[in-house]
Amino acid sequence: MTAPEILKDLKNRKFKPVYLLHGDEPYFIDVVSNYIEHHVLPDAEKGFNQTILYGKDTDMISVLNAAKRYPMMADYQVVMVKEAQDLKWGKEDDDKKTLNPLQSYLDKPLASTILVFCYKYGKFDKRKKAYKAIEKNGLIFESASLYDNKIPGWIEGYVSDKKYRINSQASNMLAEYLGNDLSKIANELDKLMLNIQEGGEITLKEIHDNIGISKEYNVFELQAALAKRDVVKANQIINYFDANPKANPIVVLMANLYSFFSKILQVHYLKDKSSASIAKELGISPYFTKDYEQASRSYDQYRTMYIIGLLREYDLKSKGVDSAAEHGELLKELVFKIMH
């Protein structure tokens, strides 16, 4: 089931006795667990019937003792284990006659308990008996990371669900600038929507005005300048970054430039170099293809590979490896070497 499907069931009061929420993308785990925590029980019932535990601060016996209780003056109780990846799950016994306490509970969970394991930043081992028991008697949701080319579509869906609109240029800029951290993207979108009338549209102007992306001096304008080998414009942007380091952290710039030149390398090996083919193969908006087409003409495949090597080198230097230079100086050196 997807996160929206699980939420639909929860809103319709269709509960499972055990939930295992696991995977590499914490955002969807938080969406489901937050709904369970804040909406399954009315406030008047939470005091006696809702238990929140943390994996590093509890043990499995405590979790099971809580799960085996019956609700007080209510139909359900919620037992939620956050950071369940830090919980000691115990060893499994191959002897069927000596089931461990966890296995025993999962085989026959209480229908009046909603036991939720929030297992973040990794996948639960599907070979474990616990996994198979939850799969049989409860619900397992694997929260997978989205590919970069899926982020703009996710942004548009998120905004639409909130009864707003966003144009493709704005969604692609947010995706490129903020990366694939869905929690961060959702937070920035929520802040943007506070400043826009319900039903309104998020455009590049709102992003420039509210998220701190300068209209003239941002990583996309830098990419465009590098694509054209416009030395003057590239240096103006780098100087702006140097003067505003908090708004333009080098880690974000490096990640975006690495992604940009990696895609340029892909363009060189495409048989069909039309704009439509580039957009499809690179998973980008047609709005951005002109920069990749221009850059592929400015830098042949060998130069592009050299630049990718430079980016790796300067990424390490920015983290203090074999360099004590300020980030602004590193960026100036890097841009000079890219274009000369």
Give me the pLDDT at residue 331, please: 93
Same-domain pairing of 315 and 226? yes
Residue 175 pLDDT greater than 90, yes or no: no
Same-domain pairing of 115 and 160? no
Return the percentage of the chain with pLDDT > 90, whole number: 66
Give me the pLDDT at residue 95, please: 46
Residue 12 pLDDT greater than 90, yes or no: yes
Give me the pLDDT at residue 100, please: 82
Q: Report residue 99 as tokens.
A: 């089931």
Same-domain pairing of 171 and 73? no
Enumerate residues 6+ apart whose C-beta is below 8 A from 104. none
Residue 99 confidence class, pLDDT cut points 50, 70, 90: low
Residue 279 confidence class, pLDDT cut points 50, 70, 90: confident
Same-domain pairing of 240 and 113? no
- Average pLDDT on 191-206 reads 88
Q: Over the chain, what is the mean pLDDT?
A: 90
Find, among 179, 178, 187, the residue nearest to 158 by Cα: 187
Could you tell me whether strands 18-23 and 113-120 are parallel, antiparallel, or unpaired per DSSP bridges?
parallel
| DSSP character string of 198-211 | TT-EE-HHHHHHHS
Q: Minimum mean pLDDT among 32-46, 82-96, 217-231, 247-261: which range?
A: 82-96
Query: pLDDT tens digit string along 293-322?
Result: 999 999 999 999 999 999 999 999 999 888
Give me the pLDDT at residue 311, please: 95
Residue 57 pLDDT greater than 90, yes or no: yes
Residue 93 confidence class, pLDDT cut points 50, 70, 90: low
Same-domain pairing of 243 and 295? yes
Same-domain pairing of 194 and 124? no
Give me the pLDDT at residue 42, please: 96
Residue 169 confidence class, pLDDT cut points 50, 70, 90: confident
Using an 8 Å Cβ cutoff, are 158 and 170 in contact? no
Residue 256 pLDDT greater than 60, yes or no: yes
Q: Domain total for the chain?
A: 3
Using an 8 Å Cβ cutoff, are 39 and 10 in contact? yes
Same-domain pairing of 112 and 41? yes
Same-domain pairing of 50 and 82? yes
Same-domain pairing of 36 and 155? no
Q: In which domain, by residue range, is 86 found?
A: 3-142
Same-domain pairing of 195 and 240? no
If you count them, how many residues does the chain have? 340
Give me the pLDDT at residue 98, please: 45
Question: Whole-model pTM?
Answer: 0.72
Same-domain pairing of 53 and 172? no
